[in-house]
């Protein structure tokens, strides 16, 4: 058995229905020299998972535990770790997520994979485009939680020369007679005016090109990077609703890829914070109209009825037990039981499967004093 490092979420393995399954999360954001103990932490978590399995089940996981041993002893595997790792496996396969956020180290054996930490990771670091705009050219990037990559664009579309070519604005001249056969030529608008006309033509092309070729297809946020003057002119004419208000006012050519990514991530984090604030305000309004609740029993019944539009869960909380998606009932349990998972995690899976949204929040970001809340569709 081998493992795969995965970026896709959710992954088809999560839908197989194999039971039980193992979910291991390792907080690898440990400073040296303690960072060298990450394999030991993983080894101890594997032991916890083994202890949760019955003898008969343990035999079926023999290949997976052998793989875990190989991973434990693989120095390169741990050297390439990010903030944290999610390692999910069943009797047949194993997948690994390198997460850019801190998670609580834990091991859970249950009938379904524990996904709350990944929901937090994937909601915080989205997928977006970055447009670096100059007066007479642009560059385009695609960025996500793992980094930023340039998107090749032909010069005929990415440069003013390629777009306008022979259609560049020429000086407008008129002729006035001054007697005899002599004539005087008067120019209307100098080189500065011509450049302004050409720049507007080029910016309109850039806007239409990005919108048609990328934004409409991918439907992801677009971040504009460029000097203040270019930002202003482009925003006056853009028709791209995916362009976010928060731009990066700097010449994109002055940044290396690492610096650009850091600035872009800072913008996206602020945007996410603002969106979270809006979401918590929505709960307050819904709660006042009896369209929201922070009562666990009520929320369970609403999930079973398919009424939950948004489920809010506090990060790093585990409530051992079973959730019945048909009745909405909850049975408390012990996490060491391989048939018992996290009630809140099970609720999240049901809400997602029925078209709802799940937000994993810090304690201070929760819209209520409790660690669970929901906004209803009706």
* Token duo for residue 31: 């400073």
C-beta neighbour count of 322 within 10 angstroms: 18
How far apart are alpha carbons 207 and 65 in whole angstroms?
Answer: 53
How far apart are alpha carbons 307 and 354 in whole angstroms?
Answer: 9
Tell me which fold the domain 290-376 belongs to: 60s Ribosomal Protein L30; Chain: A; (3.30.1330)
Three-state DSSP state, 359: strand
| CATH 3.30.420.60 residue ranges for the chain | 128-163+190-272
pLDDT value at 303 more than 80 = yes
For residues 9-28, give the mean pLDDT.
87
Q: Return the closest-CA partner of residue 294 out of 377, 378, 376, 371.
A: 371
Angle at alpha carbon of residue 41, lines to 36 and 42, rounded to 5°: 105
Please give the C-alpha separations between residue 221 and each of 128, 183, 265, 272, in angstroms, as whole numbers.
5, 56, 12, 12
Please give the C-alpha separations between residue 163 and each of 67, 88, 236, in angstroms, as whole numbers.
55, 50, 20
Please give the C-alpha separations between residue 230 and each of 200, 234, 235, 244, in angstroms, as whole numbers.
10, 6, 8, 15
Three-state DSSP state, 224: strand
How far apart are alpha carbons 110 and 23 in whole angstroms?
Answer: 8
For residues 66-79, give the mean pLDDT.
93
pLDDT tens-digit series, residues 156-182: 999 999 998 866 665 544 444 455 555
Distance of CA 213 to the CA centre of its chain: 21
How far apart are alpha carbons 69 and 227 in whole angstroms?
Answer: 53
Direct distance between the N- and C-terminal alpha carbons of the chain, in angstroms, rounded to an integer: 47
Weakest mean pLDDT among 140-149, 235-244, 369-378: 140-149
The single residue listed with the structure tokens 């398919």 is 306
Weakest mean pLDDT among 47-56, 135-144, 218-227, 241-250: 47-56
Quote the percentage of the chain above a pLDDT of 70. 89
Please give the C-alpha separations between residue 269 and each of 151, 246, 283, 314, in angstroms, as whole numbers.
23, 11, 21, 19
Residue 377: band (very low, low, confident or very high) from pLDDT cuts 50, 70, 90: very high
Q: Let me know: does 110 contact 341? Beta carbons within 8 Å.
A: yes
**Global pTM exceeds 0.85:** no
Q: Average pLDDT of the chain?
A: 88
Q: Return the closest-CA partner of residue 219 out of 147, 355, 128.
A: 128
What pLDDT, on a 0 to 100 scale, did the predictor assign at position 48? 92
The CATH code of domain 3-114 reads: 3.30.960
Buried b (16+ CB within 10 A) or exposed e, 344-370: bbbbbbbbeebebbbbbbeeebbbbee
- Maximum C-alpha span of the chain: 112
Q: Let me know: does 347 contact 323? Beta carbons within 8 Å.
A: yes
Weakest mean pLDDT among 71-75, 144-148, 204-208: 144-148
What pLDDT, on a 0 to 100 scale, did the predictor assign at position 179? 52
For residues 341-361, give the mean pLDDT.
91
| CATH 3.30.960 residue ranges for the chain | 3-114
Which of the pair, 126 or 278, is modelled with greater confidence?
278
Domain spanning 128-163+190-272: CATH 3.30.420.60: yes
How far apart are alpha carbons 289 and 274 in whole angstroms?
Answer: 23
Which of the pair, 165 or 193, is modelled with greater confidence?
165
What pLDDT, on a 0 to 100 scale, did the predictor assign at position 54? 76
Would you call the peptide bond into 129 cis, given omega within 30 degrees of 0 as the criterion? no
Residue 191: band (very low, low, confident or very high) from pLDDT cuts 50, 70, 90: low
How far apart are alpha carbons 316 and 329 in whole angstroms?
Answer: 22
Please give the C-alpha separations between residue 39 and each of 35, 58, 79, 162, 316, in angstroms, as whole numbers.
9, 22, 10, 54, 22
How far apart are alpha carbons 343 and 317 in whole angstroms?
Answer: 10
Determine the length of the chain.
378
What pLDDT, on a 0 to 100 scale, did the predictor assign at position 68? 97
């Amino acid at each position: 058995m081998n493992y795969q490092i995965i970026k896709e979420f959710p992954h088809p393995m999560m839908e197989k229905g194999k039971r039980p399954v193992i979910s291991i999360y390792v907080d690898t954001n440990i400073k040296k020299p303690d960072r060298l103990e990450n394999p030991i932490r993983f080894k101890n978590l594997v032991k916890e998972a083994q202890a949760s399995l019955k003898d008969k089940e343990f035999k079926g996981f023999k290949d997976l535990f052998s793989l875990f041993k190989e991973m434990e002893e693989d120095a390169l595997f741990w050297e390439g770790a990010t903030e944290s790792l999610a390692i999910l496996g069943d009797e047949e396969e194993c997948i690994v997520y390198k997460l850019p956020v801190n998670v609580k180290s834990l091991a859970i054996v249950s009938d379904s994979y524990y996904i709350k930490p990944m929901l937090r990771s994937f909601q915080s670091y989205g997928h977006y485009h970055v447009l670096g705009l100059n007066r007479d050219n642009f560059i385009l990037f695609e960025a996500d939680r793992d980094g930023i990559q340039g998107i090749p664009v032909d010069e005929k579309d990415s440069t003013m020369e390629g777009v306008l070519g022979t259609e560049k604005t020429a000086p407008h001249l008129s002729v006035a007679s001054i007697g005899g056969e002599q004539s005087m030529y008067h120019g209307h608008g100098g080189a500065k005016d011509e450049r302004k006309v050409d720049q507007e033509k080029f910016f309109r092309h850039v806007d239409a090109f990005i919108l048609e070729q990328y934004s409409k297809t991918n439907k992801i946020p677009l971040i504009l990077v460029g000097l203040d003057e270019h930002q202003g002119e482009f925003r006056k004419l853009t028709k791209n609703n995916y362009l976010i208000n928060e731009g990066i006012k700097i010449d994109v050519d002055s940044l290396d890829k690492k610096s650009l990514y850091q600035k872009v991530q800072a913008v996206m984090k602020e945007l996410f914070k603002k969106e979270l604030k809006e979401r918590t305000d929505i709960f307050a309004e819904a709660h006042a109209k009896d369209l929201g609740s922070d009562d666990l029993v009520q929320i369970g019944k609403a999930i079973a009825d398919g009424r939950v539009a948004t489920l809010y869960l506090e990060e790093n909380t585990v409530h051992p037990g079973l959730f019945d998606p048909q009745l909405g009932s909850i049975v408390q349990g012990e996490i060491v039981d391989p048939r018992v998972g996290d009630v809140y995690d099970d609720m999240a899976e049901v809400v997602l499967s029925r078209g709802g949204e799940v937000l994993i929040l810090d304690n201070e970001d929760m819209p209520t004093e409790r660690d669970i809340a929901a906004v209803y569709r009706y």
